[in-house]
Each structure stands twice: as C-alpha cells, then as structure tokens.
Amino acid sequence: MEEEVGNADRRTTGSVFTAAIGSGARGLFRRVADFVYPPVCAGCGVLIGRHGALCPACWQSVHFIERPFCDVLGIPFAFDHEAGLAGEGGRLVSAKAIADPPRYDRLRAVAIHDGVARKLVHGLKYRDRTELAIMMAAWMQRAGAEHLEECDGILPVPLHWTRFALRKFNQSAELARHLAKFSGKPLLPSTLKRVKRTSRQVGLTAKGRQDNVRAAFSIVPGHEPEVFGKRLVLVDDVHTTGATVSSAAAVLKRAGAAEVTVLTFALAISGPI
C-alpha cells in the first residue's frame, strides 16, 4: 500500500515537473518568437507590447460604431443623414430602413470603413494577412454579442470555387471560424454555396452590384435542416451597398431561416465623417 502511494506521489510529481517544463518551454519559445518577430501594431507597424493589437494612435483613430444606431441597418445616427427615428417595439429605426427594408433582419458592424479599419480589411482580404482575423473576429464578437448568443449557427459569405482556388482562402470564412470558436456556436461553412462567379464589386454602381450578385447563392443540397427555423449569423468582412449579403440573406430566408443577422467588421458610409 505504501509502495502504491509512493508511486502515485512520484507520478504526480513527475506530471507537475513535466507540465512545468512544458510551460517553461512554451514561454521560452514565445520570447524567442517575439525577438525574431517582435509584436507590431496591426495598423501602422510600430513596435508594441503584444501581438494582435493596435498602438494607441491607431486605436484612437478607429471610428467604432456605438449606440445610438439604426437597429436594422446598424448605421450610427450621427452619420446617417437620412435618419428619422421611428418607434418599433422600442427600437430605433432609421427612415432609410423603413423606406427600403433589407432582406436580413439586422446588421451589426465593428467600425466605419475608413482609415485603420479599412487598412485591416484590405490587409486580410488582399495581402493574405490571415493573422488579423483573430483580432478582427474578437471585436466582431463584442459588436454582435447579443445575437451571437441567441443564434443557432454562424456561416460565412462564400466565395465561388474558382476565386477560392486563386486566393487560397476566404476572408469571411476566417472571421466566421474564429467567431464560432469564441462564441461556442456551430460553424456552418458548407451550408451556403456561391453558384455564380461574379465580377468584383469594387467600382460597380449600387444597381450594378445588385445585378452582379443576383441568383449568386444557393443552399447546398442536404443542408436545408441547418437553415429551416434557425437563427443565423451571416459573416462578411465589409458592408458597402449590401448587395452581396442581401442576396445571400434572401436565399436563407427562402429556405426558412427564422432570422438572419449580418455581422461584418466594417461598414462603409458615404459622406464625411
């Protein structure tokens, strides 16, 4: 009996010692990695204290979206020049949302698409800086916390397979993957499919964008139960005219989705800020 207790004590001591060595090794590795690749601001590149963060100057320059904003379109009323508050179940709804309701139920975004926020979007999307997705998704979790908590699944706006083959990754899927991990909600990466290869939206008029993404999405056969009666969060990197997410949301709604919340990192707003 005493021998068994002694063996158990030795095993416990050994486990603690091994864990301590492992922790020390990881700490040493991080210090070496920080020496070789020192943490820099994700916005301007100056040296900072930790990875995946902004320096104080870049942080202060980000136009974070805070209330009051339109509960449907997510546009801050300070920047919505057509804003007309309307009571709707205690919500604040802009005149634009009343006059032209979107296909989705609501939109939430972290920041206005300008300056540093725009640079982060472009870095992730066009410069393959996938490490930015972790920081951006963490901010998106805060912006959409209420609806992430209530949702049944998170799905990204998909790329057409030909564009995915060229780019090698989908920036919206990267954001959705981290959001699912942070929130503990199911990730639905194969539910929605882009069936039409669209032109790049950059440079197109609002009508051109709508025509470009018309009938661009469908539900993958066999995945209908993931949509019907479900509250879904549709993830994209930036919202401009809303043509892409509106087209995707319309398909989800036709498939029986109970709610579709669009969650993006940046929201483009015309006019001065």
Judge if 19 and 112 occupy the same domain.
no
Judge if 33 and 106 occupy the same domain.
no
Nearest to residue 240, comparing CAs of 194, 201, 188? 201
Of all helices (H) and strands (E), which one includes residue 17?
helix 2-36
Distance CA 65, CA 269 (A): 12
The DSSP line for 250-265 is HHHHHTT-SEEEEEEE
Question: For helices 115-126 and 171-183, what crossing angle results, to 10°?
Answer: 110
* Position 183 in a domain: yes
Judge if 61 and 194 occupy the same domain.
yes
* Position 72 in a domain: no
- Strand pairing category for 91-93 and 192-194: unpaired
pLDDT in tens, 67-104: 999 999 999 987 554 445 555 466 789 999 999 999 99
**What integer pLDDT is reported at residue 166 of this predicted model?**
80
pLDDT in tens, 138-160: 999 999 999 999 999 999 999 98
Nearest to residue 227, comparing CAs of 172, 190, 198, 262? 190
Provide the residue range defining the domain that includes 3. Answer: 1-37
User: Percent of the chain beyond pLDDT 70?
Assistant: 75
* Position 90 in a domain: no
* Position 73 in a domain: no
pLDDT exceeds 80 at position 28: no
* Position 162 in a domain: yes
Is the C-alpha dihedral spanning 263, 258, 214, 100 positive or negative? Answer: negative
Judge if 63 and 198 occupy the same domain.
yes
pLDDT in tens, 262-272: 999 999 987 54
Judge if 170 and 218 occupy the same domain.
yes
Judge if 119 and 206 occupy the same domain.
yes
Specify whether the CB–CB gap between 75 and 94 falls below 8 A.
yes
Judge if 109 and 229 occupy the same domain.
yes
* Position 245 in a domain: yes
Judge if 174 and 236 occupy the same domain.
yes
* Position 84 in a domain: no
Nearest to residue 150, comparing CAs of 183, 188, 181? 183
Domain count for the chain, please give it. 2
Q: Contacts by 164-170 with C-beta closer than 8 Å and gap 24+? A: 168/128, 169/128, 169/130
Judge if 201 and 249 occupy the same domain.
yes
Judge if 127 and 252 occupy the same domain.
yes
Residue 181 pLDDT level (bands cut at 50, 70, 90): very high
Residue 221 pLDDT level (bands cut at 50, 70, 90): very high
Distance CA 79, CA 273 (A): 7
Supply the CATH number for residue 160's domain.
Answer: 3.40.50.2020
In this structure, which amino acid lies at residue 224? E
Judge if 16 and 121 occupy the same domain.
no
Judge if 31 and 63 occupy the same domain.
no
* Position 96 in a domain: no
